[in-house]
Amino acid sequence: MRKVSLPLWLLAGFLYVFMYAPIVVVIVFSFNAAKHGGPWTGFTTEWYAKLLDSPDKLKATENTAILAFASTILATVLGTMLGYGLSRYWFPGKKLFSLMMYIPVVIPDIVMAVAMLSFYALVRDWLGLFELGMTTMIIAHITFQIPFVAIVVRSRLAGMDPAIEEAAHDLGASSWQTFWNVTFPLMLPGVLAGAMLAFTLSLDDFVVSFFTTGPGATTLPILIYSSVKRGITPDINALSTLIVLASVIGTIGVTLLQRPAKHSGG
């Protein structure tokens, strides 16, 4: 019925080129032999080899991985419980609370970042807790991940037929049995999708990490930012290429994972 006209093809093509130009240029320049960036002088894989004997880059990779895994695991547990609780049980003031839970999703991340920074500073002055570093960064990431996990889990639960759980009850299963044998397996794809989302948000985050980190707890985005501020170097392009590669694999993986499911919820 609808046909794609030639001008639309060209426009769409141009927009894809526009979206991919920065990604492609980073990949291409990571193989550029020129020492200080600049025009193309020849092909090399030297910068990738250099990454391996750069302790600060390896340390940043390690920190990023610890941060992403630790925060995602905790946020997935908390966010799943929240999503389940909000979709199933009532409590006074629930409407207001569920709206407030969405605040981390909607406010600009810099506002969230400085609020957390001030909070950590205050607690540190009074109690001596929360020296800025990995712990404060993990807490901050969990805080903005929880609502995203909850949203995905809730939308998965909303698409479920209540009759299935009713049937389990009618057949004599306890609430606990119903949850673990019926509800949980059905909501699992939503939980996994929520976890993937949380993980990616953590990997991508720069602003919140930048404000809540401390000495020795540099992550890859922070490392890239501070390097780029001093001038783009080829090894940063190599590092970025590897990160881009990870995102591409991740995106395609999730797309393929979600395909068989009819209601993937995300």
Partner 1 sequence: MKSSRPGEVRFGEQLSARGQLYRSATTSGPSIVWVTIFLLLPLVGIGVISFLSRGESGGYELPFTFTNYTRFAGWGFFGYDILYPQIILRSIVLGTGTAALCTLAALPLAFFIAALPGRYKNLALTLVLIPFWTNLLIRTYAWQILLAPESPITWVATKLHLIAADAPLYPSEFAIYIGMVCDYLPFLVLPLYSSVEKIDWSIAEAASDLGADGKRVFWHAILPQVMPGLVAGVILVLIPAMGQFVIPDLLGGAKTVMLGNAIQQQFGPSRDWPFGSAIAFLGMAVVLVSLWFYARYAGEKGGDIL
Q: Does 34 bind partner 1 (CB under 8 A)?
A: no
Select from 86, 68, 89 the least CA-distant residue to 78.
86
Q: How far is the CB of 240 from partner 1 (least distance, A)?
A: 4
Q: Does 126 bind partner 1 (CB under 8 A)?
A: no
Q: How far is the CB of 136 from partner 1 (least distance, A)?
A: 10
- Residues in the interface with partner 1 (CB under 8 A) total 100
Q: Which stretch binds partner 1 (CB under 8 A): 5-13, 54-62, 65-73, 187-195?
A: 5-13
Among 45, 54, 177, 247, binds partner 1 (CB under 8 A): 247
Q: Does 250 bind partner 1 (CB under 8 A)?
A: yes
The footprint of partner 1 on residues 165-184 (CB under 8 A) is: 165-170, 175, 178
Q: Which stretch binds partner 1 (CB under 8 A): 42-50, 51-59, 138-146, 185-193?
A: 138-146
The footprint of partner 1 on residues 196-215 (CB under 8 A) is: 200, 203-204, 206-207, 211
Task: Decide if 63 contacts 218 (C-beta within 8 A).
Answer: yes
Q: Does 8 bind partner 1 (CB under 8 A)?
A: yes
Map residues 90-119 to x or -, x wherever contact with partner 1 holds by CB under 8 A: xxx-x--x-xxxxxxxxxxxxxx-xxxxxx
The number of beta carbons lying within 10 Å of the beta carbon of residue 55 is 7
The footprint of partner 1 on residues 55-74 (CB under 8 A) is: none
Q: How far is the CB of 52 from partner 1 (least distance, A)?
A: 20
CA dihedral 191, 86, 98, 145 (to 10 degrees): -20
Separation CA 128–CA 130 (nearest Å): 7
Select from 38, 45, 63, 55 the least CA-distant residue to 235.
45
Among 70, 151, 191, 193, binds partner 1 (CB under 8 A): 151
Q: Does 29 bind partner 1 (CB under 8 A)?
A: yes
Separation CA 234–CA 203 (nearest Å): 22
Q: Which residues pair with 43 in a beta bridge?
A: 32
- C-alpha triplet 214, 220, 226: angle, nearest 5°: 70
Q: Does 225 bind partner 1 (CB under 8 A)?
A: yes
Q: Among residues 46 and 109, whose Cβ is nearest to partner 1?
A: 109
Q: Does 39 bind partner 1 (CB under 8 A)?
A: yes
Q: Does 162 bind partner 1 (CB under 8 A)?
A: yes
Q: Is 187 left (phi over 0), alpha (psi -120 to 50) or beta?
A: alpha
Q: Does 188 bind partner 1 (CB under 8 A)?
A: no
Q: Among residues 49 and 167, whose Cβ is nearest to partner 1?
A: 167
Among 68, 70, 86, 238, binds partner 1 (CB under 8 A): 86
Task: Decide if 222 contacts 236 (C-beta within 8 A).
Answer: no
Q: Where are the alpha helices (DSSP H) in the chain?
A: 6-29, 46-52, 55-88, 94-100, 103-106, 109-127, 134-158, 162-170, 175-178, 184-204, 207-212, 220-230, 234-258
3-state secondary structure of 31: coil
